[in-house]
Structure formats: C-alpha cells, structure tokens
Amino acid sequence: MEGVKPMAKGLAVGGLLLAAAGGLFYALSLRHPQYGLMAAGLGLALLAAGLIAARQQVGRALGSRAFRLGLGAGAAVVAVAALVVFLGALAGRHHLRWDFSQGQKLSLAAQSLQVLQKLDKPLKAYAFFKPGQAGREQTKDLLDLYAYHNRNFTYQFADLDAQPTLAKRFGVNTHGQLVLVGKDKEEKISLPDEQKLTNALIRLARTEKKTIYFLGGHGERDLEGIGQKDFSEFKKSLENQSYQVRKLILANQEKVPADAVCVVAAGPGKALLDKEKERLANYLQSGGSLLMMMEPDNDAGLGPWLEERGALLGDNLVVDLGAAEIGASPFWPLGITYGSHQVTNPLENIITFFPIARTVNLAPKMPAGAVGVELVQTVPQSWAEVDYRQMAEKPEFQEGRDLPGPLSLGVVVELAAPAEKPADGPRAGGRLMVFGDADFASNAFLEQAGNRDLALNSVAFLAQEQDLISISPKQEASQPLMVQPFQAKVVFWMPVVVLPLLFLVIGVMVVIRRRRVA
C-alpha cells in the first residue's frame, strides 16, 4: 500500500514474521512450546499495532477492486490450508497401520491385542532411558504400538539425571526400566519387550493372586533347583504372571487346599498313596483342575485312575527320527500339529519338543458328559516303541508291533459338573490335562520353540485365566547374503575401482574437449 508510514509497515511485517516463527516453534518444540505461543501472540499484537497506525491507508485499500480480487484468492488459500489441517488432524486421531514386514514383526501378537482391548482405564508408562541409549528407539516403537491400539495407554520418556524426583517416586535407580502406573497399582519391568509388557498389563488388571500347587513327596521335579531337569524357570514364569506357586504334600493333608486353582504333578517317580488319589479325585469332582506330566516307564500308580477320567497313558516310548535333522535326539519327538483348543490355537506353525515322551490318548470309554481333545500330535513318520525296554541302540519300526504316527502326546478332558452340589460348592466341571512328558517344561527345554507357551497356556486354561497367556517374541528372520568368489570380486571392483576410474576418464575427456573448443 502506497503512503503507508515506514514504522507502521515495519510493525505489520515484523509482527507477521514473528507470529509465523512463533507458530512454527510451537509446532516443532518438544521442551518449551509455550515460548512459541508467547512469540506468536506478540507477533499478532505488533501486526495489529501496524494496521492501526496505517488505518487510513488500510481503509482505502479495503474498498479497492484489487483487494476484492485478492480477498477471493486469499479465501481459497485459507480454505485449502484449513482442509489440509483438518485432514492432518483427522489422520492423527484415526490413522491406520499396515504391517508388510516379514513375519509381521512390527505388529503385536493376537494375545497382546486381546489384553489391550480390555484396558478400559487410563494407564501411563514411564520409560527411563537416556537420550541415545541403546534400546530406546525399540522401546519407543513398542510403546507406540500399544498406544495405537488403545488410547487409554499413554507413555512418557524420562531421564534419571534430568528428573531425579520422578525416578525416586517410582524407585527407579538405573536406566532401561519401565514403570506402568494404573489407578492404584504400579508394575516395574527392566529391558521391556512385548512379552514382559503384556504380562505386566495383565498383572495390573488382576485383583488377586491365584495359587498353583505342585505335588511333592513322590520324586517330582524340584521347584527351586537350577539343574536341567528342575522346574525353577517354570516357577519363575508362573510368578511373573502373578500366580502364587506352592508345594503340596498331599499325604498329610485332609484335602487339596481350597485356594488351589490348579494342582500340578510334575513327573512323579513314586506311586501316590490311595488316600492321595482319593483326595485328588474329590478335588477334580468338585470342579478343580489337574495338570499331570507323566514320564515313560512310570505312571506313579495313576494309569487306571487317569483312564477312568478320560486319559489313556501309553506304555511306550515315542521315536521321531526327523528330530535328528534339526540336531535333536530321535527320542525328542516334535509336536507339529495341534488339536483345536484355546491352549494350542496360538501355537499354529510353532513346534514343541517333548524329550523322552510316551503317548497319551483319550480313553476309549470317556466318563459320562466329558469332552476331550488330543492337544499335540507328532509327525506321521514317528512311531511308538512298545518294546522300548529291550530296544536296540538304533531304533527301527516293527510293523504290526509298534504304533505308527502321528501320535498324541497330550490330552485335555473337561468333566461334567456333578449332579449334586458338594458342601463347599463346585466351581464347574473339573479339568484334567495330561502330557506324556515332564521335560518339556524343565529348565533345559522350557525356552525351546513353543514349549514355554504350551506350559503357561495349559496352566492359564486350568486356572480359568484365559487372558493370562504367554507371548512368543517375534524372531527376526535371518537373511544372509551368500555370494560366490567371483561375485565378491565384482562387488569390490565395481564401486571401488571401475566406477571412480570411469568418472575420472569422462572428466578428463570433457576438460580436453573444452580446451580444444576454446
């Protein structure tokens, strides 16, 4: 506008630039966005002051034809800008993600999504990581996934050095820890991954700890030992899911404790007393749950007892020569296919190991009203050695004598609820799960393939905690680049020697040609 005082023009232009810079700072700043708002406000004030100082020239300009044409163009620009901002905000609130990575490694497991769906109250995660610390970006990506699937999940990164008060509040003294804070509970985990984070969410949601009892007194696996055959890792995994794990000497008890949600017999080596079997039967009949892990050549006097309740133990030893192809023993049969059941459905396309196992099938005559499923089956090329006590060093299948595969290694039986209500009140029909091996849940094999998931999912089902499941961490597929010696030479010579030399020759030719033209 002609005739505008320099001071007024300076105020208007300076205010406009300051407002734009303040808005940009507010949008990009992570630490002090309020300074951007203050600058933008000051800029708008300067712009208003400049317009007031040149109010006469502004008034004449507003009545001109050029202003009306510019107003239309400006309105169109503002409308487009507003549409872009609206679409950006809409995308920020209702965006979608697609995972095209190999093995869906950038997505959460179905079990994690199930847990997140039930998160109906605000929950905040405090991640104590230093800027640039190893694992920080991976943790942020993981937290982004959880926050994406449920808006009640939010997170904040914190630094021990910059925010000592916050660290002291949660009792955090080292970096790399994550604290989940609910309404009235907290959970702390170190070096977070999907498995730890989901299990922590489950623990926060639980209002009480359920108790798992392990039978003792018959040579069962040691819950505290650190040997390969011991069960200390299994116990630790159960406690990580907020179970209480206790040992039960049933011989000196009148009955199974009332707080038991599941009783586990982990490879008993000696026969149970008749009184103990009677107490287990009463517990099962009143709606209790039993997990029996029975090693070959020893049924602990429970063979007929289990058959009456729908599980048939085979007196044999399962052989799987195909296991040797992956470096395992032929007496470590692989679980490769699974029955349709909530315990094994998450294990699709995941193998399980059963070192030194016997077959377990549903009994030919099931109890009235009972429903059973054969959970795990071996490959068709496997077989069960009937004469395993006299078996040669190298096993061979004997047609008509040995049992051909596929073979069942575990079953679950859901018994009918009792017709009459016991005095202490039944929970439901009892649940019985039997595996022909105990080593699959031992310290040596619990972390192999899907063994951990199978063991924990079995307990979760028996304890009627279907949401308390194990999460198999996604493994990044290894894709090594294999090249022949000739290819390796090409890879070296082309970028290191040939291409630079080619550019050098072209450059020299261009210089020579230009000199000739000049």
- The listed range with the strongest mean pLDDT (39-48, 79-88, 148-157, 476-485) is 148-157
What is the helix (H) or strand (E) element at residue 116, kind and residue range?
Answer: helix 110-117
Burial class (CB in 10 A: 0-12, 13-18, 19+), 44: middle
Percent of the chain with pLDDT over 70: 80
For 263-296, how does the pLDDT look when each residue is reduced to its tens digit (9 = 90+)? 999 999 999 999 999 999 999 999 999 999 999 9
- Separation of alpha carbons 299 and 392, rounded Å: 23
Distance of alpha carbon 227 from the chain centroid = 28
For 135-159, how does the pLDDT look when each residue is reduced to its tens digit (9 = 90+)? 899 999 999 999 988 989 999 999 9
CA distances from 141 to 92, 147, 202, 263, 479 (A): 16, 10, 20, 39, 22
pLDDT of residue 315: 94
90 pLDDT tier (thresholds 50, 70, 90): low
Any idea which residue has 């050549």 for tokens?
A: 297
216 close to 252: Cβ distance less than 8 angstroms: no
Q: Which residues pair with 412 in a beta bridge?
A: 373, 433
- Separation of alpha carbons 428 and 416, rounded Å: 8
Any idea which residue has 């009677």 for tokens?
A: 278
Contacts of 56 (CB under 8 A, 6+ apart): none
> Does the structure show a pLDDT above 70 at 98?
no
461 close to 210: Cβ distance less than 8 angstroms: no
- The listed range with the strongest mean pLDDT (159-168, 192-201, 252-261) is 252-261
357 close to 318: Cβ distance less than 8 angstroms: yes
For 120-140, how does the pLDDT look when each residue is reduced to its tens digit (9 = 90+)? 889 999 999 988 888 899 999
∠ CA(153), CA(196), CA(411), 5° rounding?
115
One fold for 102-198 and 206-462: no
| CATH of the domain spanning 206-462 | 3.40.50
- Separation of alpha carbons 243 and 236, rounded Å: 10
Query: Where are the chain's structural domains?
Result: 6-93, 102-198, 206-462, 484-518
15 close to 45: Cβ distance less than 8 angstroms: yes
| pTM recorded for the entire structure | 0.62
Helices of type H across 156-228: 164-170, 194-205
Q: Which residues pair with 318 in a beta bridge?
A: 384
Lowest mean pLDDT across 24-38, 139-153, 208-222: 24-38
- Separation of alpha carbons 33 and 158, rounded Å: 18
436 close to 457: Cβ distance less than 8 angstroms: no
pLDDT of residue 478: 46
> Does the structure show a pLDDT above 50 at 236?
yes
pLDDT of residue 425: 47
- Separation of alpha carbons 95 and 114, rounded Å: 20
82 pLDDT tier (thresholds 50, 70, 90): low
- Separation of alpha carbons 267 and 269, rounded Å: 6
Phi, psi (deg, nearest 5) at residue 254? -75, -30
| CATH entry, 102-198, from 3.40.30.10, 3.30.70.141, 3.40.50.920, 2.60.40.740 | 3.40.30.10
Mean of per-residue pLDDT scores for the chain: 83
